[in-house]
Amino acid sequence: MISRLNVTSIYVLDKEEALDFYVDKLGLEKGNDVQQGDYRWLTVRARGDQSTEISLEQPGSPLHDDATAERLRELITKGALGGLVFITDDVRALYGRLRDHGVTDFTQEPTEHFYGTDMGLRDPFGNPIRILQQGKAVEQATD
């Protein structure tokens, strides 16, 4: 039986810029940062959450040939690749904090649904991110 998701990955155009966004603006923490030759294994994760790491992968050598990397970069910037969904305990406060940090690429302001309140934004490269504050009914069901 598989018990949990350990590592997922997301393509970024630049790992340093990704760190600036995901850690300094979004508030995640850096996980692993290991340089091996010209490859940097770099992960981020929700603060204090050791269970799931998000590996930040940059298209290009040694993972991809030049043509593949170029195609991936095009797809990232079109917003055509997969994104991330996070959970927060106060989405409206987070929305305010992100705006204070100069984040402008919101795809949706905090909006209430039957399952909770969520908002949408994009990372600097075009990847979609959603952040959900679960509703009370959902919280009780999963407690």
Contact between 53 and 45 (Cβ < 8 Å): yes
Instruction: Give the nearest distance from C-beta 66 to other proteins in angstroms.
Output: 9
Q: Which of 78, 89, 100, 136 binds other proteins (CB under 8 A)?
A: 78
Contact track, other proteins, 29-68, x by CB under 8 A: ----------------------------------------
- 8 scored as a contact of other proteins (CB under 8 A): no
The secondary structure element, H or E, covering residue 143 is none
- 108 scored as a contact of other proteins (CB under 8 A): yes
Q: Which of 90, 115, 137, 139 binds other proteins (CB under 8 A)?
A: 115
Q: How many helices (H) and strands (E) does the chain have?
A: 4, 8
SS3 letters across 31-45: EEEEEECCEEEEEEE
27 vs 135, beta carbon nearer other proteins: 135
**For 73, phi and psi rounded to 5 degrees?**
-65, -40
Looking at the DSSP bridge assignments, the partners of residue 9 are 55
- 111 scored as a contact of other proteins (CB under 8 A): yes
Contact track, other proteins, 15-34, x by CB under 8 A: --------------------
Instruction: Give the nearest distance from C-beta 79 to other proteins in angstroms.
Output: 5
46 vs 75, beta carbon nearer other proteins: 75
CA torsion, points 14, 58, 87, 79, in degrees to nearest 10? 80
SS3 state of residue 20: helix
